[in-house]
Amino acid sequence: MINKLHLAMIELYRGDAKRIQHFCKVHSYAKLIAETENVDKKSLFIIEVAALTHDIGIHFCEEKYGNCNGRLQEKEGPAIAERLLKKLGFDQEVSDRVQYLIAHHHTYNDIDAMDYQILVEADFLVNIMEDSLTKEAALKAYHNIFKTACGKTICREMFDI
C-alpha cells in the first residue's frame, strides 16, 4: 500500500520534481525516526502515509489562493488526501488520522502523539535544509521542536549543532 501511495503521489505531483523530492525525503526521515523509536506497526503505517501526503494540498492552494503557506495547506489538504486514500483503498481509520496530521503539520503547539511528533520532526529536517535556514534557526528548532532521540541526533549531526 505504501508503494502504491508513493507512486500515486509522484503521479499527482507530475512535473514538480522539487516537491516530489520533498515528500520523498520527509518520508525517509519519518520512517527512520519511527523505526528507531520503535513505534508499533500501525503507527509506522500512519506515519509513512502522512509523510507522503502531508503537503498534498500545495498545488490546489497555489491555484486557489496564489499562495501555499502552511495554514492553507492544513485547511485544504485533508479533503484531497481523503479522496486519494479512499480511491487507493486505505482504511477509514488510517485516513482519518492522516487527515488530522495533514491538518496540523504546521501547528507546533499541542503535539499530542508520537506520529504527529515524528511527522513534524521529519518535515523540519527537510525544510531547514531546503529553506536554507541559518544554523541559529536550526538550533532554535532543535530546542523547540525536536523531542525524539533519533530526530535530535539527526538534527545535531546534520546541522552540526
- Record the cell numbers describing residue 160, joined without a space: 552540526
pLDDT tens sequence across 49-63: 999 999 999 999 788
Q: Is the pTM of this model over 0.85?
A: yes
Q: What was the pLDDT predicted at 159?
A: 96
| C-beta of residue 85 within 8 angstroms of C-beta of residue 52 | no
Phi-psi bin for 148: left (phi > 0), alpha (psi -120 to 50), beta? beta
Q: What was the pLDDT predicted at 68?
A: 84
pLDDT tens sequence across 101-138: 999 999 999 999 999 999 999 999 999 999 999 999 99
Give me the mean pLDDT over the 88-94 stretch: 98
CATH 1.10.3210.10 at 2-159, yes or no: yes
Nearest to 73 by CA among 100, 105, 119, 46: 105
